[in-house]
Chains A and B, each alone.
Chain A
Amino acid sequence: MSKIVADFFIRHALDQTRSTNDIARELAEMGAPEGMLVTARRQTAGRGRRGNAWESTEGNVFLSLVLRPQGSAQVAAQVSFVMANAVRELVAHRIPGVPIQLKWPNDVLCDGKKISGILLEAGAPSDGGIAWLIAGLGINVSTKPASRTDATALHYEGDTRSDADTVIADFCERFLSWYEKWQLDGFEAVRTAWLAHAHGLARPIQIRLPHEIIDAIFDGVDETGALLARLADGSLRKVTGGEVYFGSPG
């Protein structure tokens, strides 16, 4: 680990906890600085967005990072893409030859299968900015949920040597590089790199919002990170939420 990376991160390594995001949030509220990294070997109540469970078997990566980005809540949401770029690079480096693509905004797919999950939670905005941002990450290293045929793990994709700790160290290097690039140069470099590996560009897409389903062509991502959906009448619609599904596999 380089000195810059070692200086940024302060690791709080736990054997077992309910959810690393919960611990990181408590630490953030107590004033933990940016770079506070909570890791756990096991989570007893690992979760994704909106209460979805995240299976948290020992051998995989479970981490949550305290960030304190400048700017509005809208801008801080771009960390979704910063995280996705870092994880995509990490996975691609470890399983060369397997196509690694990104699904808006931050799912990393190995040959179409999900290998990681990201959960971002901001501290309550006070003045339009945010107090802190917790970036939670799970990466399937040695195991994947048995019930899911649409999930995979590094070991299943041919990388049987990686363990959770080496993946965490690699993530720290790659995340910090992308995070600094985003802070110094803005979103454009992040967006360009993300789009270069986007799954299903210019192809049919379905976006399922809580009360609406949008069928469109995936036209890219705008300068704020919103998904651009080209509708049947040719107009562009900006989408900031919902689940994305692709028209046909592959």
Chain B
Amino acid sequence: MGKFTIDPDVIRDLAALLDETNLTEIEWEEDDQRVRVSRGGGGGTHVVAVPSPAAAVAAGPVSDPAPAADDPAGHPGAVKSPMVGTAYLSPEPSAPSFVSVGDRVSLGQTLLIVEAMKTMNPIAAPRAGTVTQILIDDSTPVEFGEPLMIVE
């Protein structure tokens, strides 16, 4: 089993996200490490940190860990919404989309817009890479922390 170091900031962020989204469980995987934060029956949150993926079975009181590929929120390439709002895939209705699946994008390139209270928020690529999934439809409501696209 490899050495596992806990990053308290990651856990704090995940716990905050859990509260914001009312989810019961969030899993974050990076390199060979995986952290899962879930809400216990008592209402509080607890953290399970396990080296991934072999030891996941022994991780404790969580059930049915889904493979990362089926869980966009836990995907390390997920680009998530910073706010509750409406997502737009193009700058205006008649214009082509900012990006399509398969496009190479550079760091900071606009991927989509999330609008809230008539404020337009461009969502930038957090890294250079390829857009492998677009997880939302144009002009649809999105929640805080909701995965919007996968950039790998």
On A, residues with C-beta under 8 Å from B are: 49-51, 72-74, 76-81, 105-106, 118-126, 128, 130, 133, 209-211, 224-226, 238, 240-242
Contacts and interface: CB of A to CB of B under 8 A. Distances in A.
Nearest to A225: B117
Contact of A128 (B82, B94, B119): B82
B85 to A, nearest CB: 5
B93 interface: yes
Contacts of A51: 91-95
Given A50-B88, A240-B86, A74 B95 contact: no
Contacts of A123: 122
Interface string B80-103: 001111101001111100000000
Contacts of B91: 51
Interface in B71-129: 82-86, 88, 91-95, 108, 110, 114-124
Interface of B: 82-86, 88, 91-95, 108, 110, 114-124, 138-141, 144
Contact of B84 (A74, A76, A125): A74
Nearest to A81: B117
A123 B123 CA distance: 9
Contacts of A122: 119-122
Contacts, number: 99
A130 B85 contact: no
Given A79-B119, A209-B141, A240-B117, 11 more contacts: A49-B120, A72-B83, A77-B116, A77-B121, A119-B120, A120-B118, A121-B120, A124-B108, A124-B122, A125-B123, A125-B124
Contacts of B144: 74
A226 B83 CA distance: 12
Contacts of A73: 82-83, 114, 116, 119, 121
B116 A241 contact: yes
Interface centre among A105, A121, A125, A126 (most CB of B within 10 A): A125
Contacts of B115: 49, 240-241
Interface centre among A49, A118, A210, A225 (most CB of B within 10 A): A210
